[in-house]
Each structure stands twice: as C-alpha cells, then as structure tokens.
C-alpha cells in the first residue's frame, strides 16, 4: 500500500518569515508510522533534524561534520558542489537529504517525492484570450 504525505520545507506555521514549499511524498508507511520513524531516527542518530539542519533564519548550509553525523555521504544525496556553492542547500536538496537520512536508518522504508499534477486555478501571465486571474484573497493576510 502506498500512502501520500504532504511535507513542508520552511515556515509552515507562518509565524516567522512565512515562506514554505510543500512536497508531496509517497511512503510505504502511514504518516503516523513515518512520524514514529522520524522520532526514533532522531534518537538513534543523535540528530534533532528539525533543530540542527538548516533550522535557523537564513541557514542554508550543511557541513561535512553534519553529513557525517547524519550517517550520509554527499554521493547518497546527489550533492552538487558547484550548485551548492551558488545556492547553498535548496529546498530540493534539503528534501533529498531528509529522505536519504530516513531511508538509510530505516531499511525497507520506501519514501520518495511524487509529482502533484493537480492543476492550479491561478496561473502566471495571460491566457490565449489575454485574461489573467490575480491574487485571490490577497488582502486577507497581514
């Protein structure tokens, strides 16, 4: 059985900078079991992932020491040194690191990013009739 999980990278509670990207994951275990695996893996590896890896404002780096503590190599997460030098840890790279870490310490876990192909109502630019849909509900947020 495959389970679907929405996974936030960033300020999902909107109590800080308010920026968040959502990833759609496919998992071989339920979200409840995935959470338990996460807590157990944090305990076993000694890594509080949510407090140690890219967890502070404008912290988009990961050190060799952190990779070692995670039990990972850069090759296991398709780490691109040149891209990292320019962009630091991107949301996609962060997701790859998280998935690799969780899978490495939980053999048998199947976890991957899936494409959410649900069409969006709003869109950038203009359609073929030169129409556009603006920011619906923009004024609701302060």
As a whole number of angstroms, the distance between CA 36 and CA 96 comes to: 19
| Domain limits for position 125 | 3-140
Instruction: Quote the number of domains for the chain.
Output: 1
Digit-coded pLDDT (tens) for 59-92: 888 988 999 999 999 888 888 888 888 888 899 9
The stretch 41-46 carries a mean pLDDT of 95
pTM score of the predicted model: 0.81
Q: What angle do CA 37, 43, 45 make, to 5 degrees?
A: 95
pLDDT tier for residue 142 given thresholds of 50, 70 and 90: low
**Which pLDDT score is estimated for 11?**
78
Which residues neighbour 19 within 8 Å (Cβ) at sequence distance 6 or greater? 10, 11
In the numeric block, the tokens 């990013």 are attached to 113
CA atoms in the 13 A half-sphere facing the CB of 86: 4
State the Cα–Cα distance between residues 77 and 139, nearest whole angstrom: 40
Over the stretch 124-136, which tens digit does the pLDDT of each residue have? 899 999 988 888 7
């Amino acid at each position: 059985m495959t389970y679907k999980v929405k996974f936030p990278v960033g300020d999902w509670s909107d109590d800080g900078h308010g920026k968040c990207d959502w990833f759609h994951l496919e998992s071989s275990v339920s979200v409840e079991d995935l959470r338990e695996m996460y807590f157990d893996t944090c305990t076993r590896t000694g890594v509080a992932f949510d407090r140690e890896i890219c967890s502070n404002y404008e912290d988009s780096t990961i050190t060799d020491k952190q990779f070692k503590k995670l039990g990972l190599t850069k090759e296991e997460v398709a780490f691109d040194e040149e891209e990292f030098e320019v962009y630091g840890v991107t949301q996609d790279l962060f997701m790859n690191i998280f998935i690799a870490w969780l899978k490495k310490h939980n053999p048998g876990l199947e976890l991957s990013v899936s494409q959410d192909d649900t069409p969006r109502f709003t869109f950038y630019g203009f359609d073929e009739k030169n129409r556009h849909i603006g920011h619906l509900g923009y004024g609701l947020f302060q």
